[in-house]
């Protein structure tokens, strides 16, 4: 699973792990022949998907003609 490239904006995050957790992460990375960072990104994304339904998402305003239509008009 390669990291997406191109227009996707990314942020750098530093995480401190104890020796046991890092060793487990390294073992998985070695087994999958992948960098530790890739395994960590996948674990974070899996966590966000799993927990995402519990997080209140902000409501973004709509723009353009669709925003001016009422719910009845869109049906």
Structure confidence by residue, pLDDT tens digits, 6-29? 677 888 999 999 999 999 999 999
Report whether pLDDT(65) > 90: no
Mean pLDDT value of segment 43-71: 70
Domain annotation covers residue 39:
yes
Domain membership flag for residue 2: no
Determine, yes or no, domain membership for 47.
Answer: yes
Query: Does 6 reside within a domain?
Result: no
Whole-model pTM?
0.59
Structural domain contains residue 66 = no
Q: Which domain holds residue 32?
A: 19-51
**Could you tell me if residue 25 is inside a domain?**
yes
Instruction: Give a yes or no: residue 40 inside a domain.
Output: yes
Q: How many domains does the chain have?
A: 1
Query: Does 9 reside within a domain?
Result: no
Closest CA to 41 of 6, 8, 15, 19: 15
């Amino acid at each position: 699973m390669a990291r997406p490239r191109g227009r996707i904006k990314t942020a750098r995050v530093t995480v401190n792990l104890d020796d046991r957790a890092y060793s487990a992460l390294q073992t998985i990375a070695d087994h999958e022949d992948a960098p530790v960072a890739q395994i960590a990104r996948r674990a974070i994304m899996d966590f966000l998907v799993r927990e995402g339904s519990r997080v209140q998402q902000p409501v973004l305003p709509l723009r353009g003609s669709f925003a001016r239509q009422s719910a009845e008009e869109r049906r």
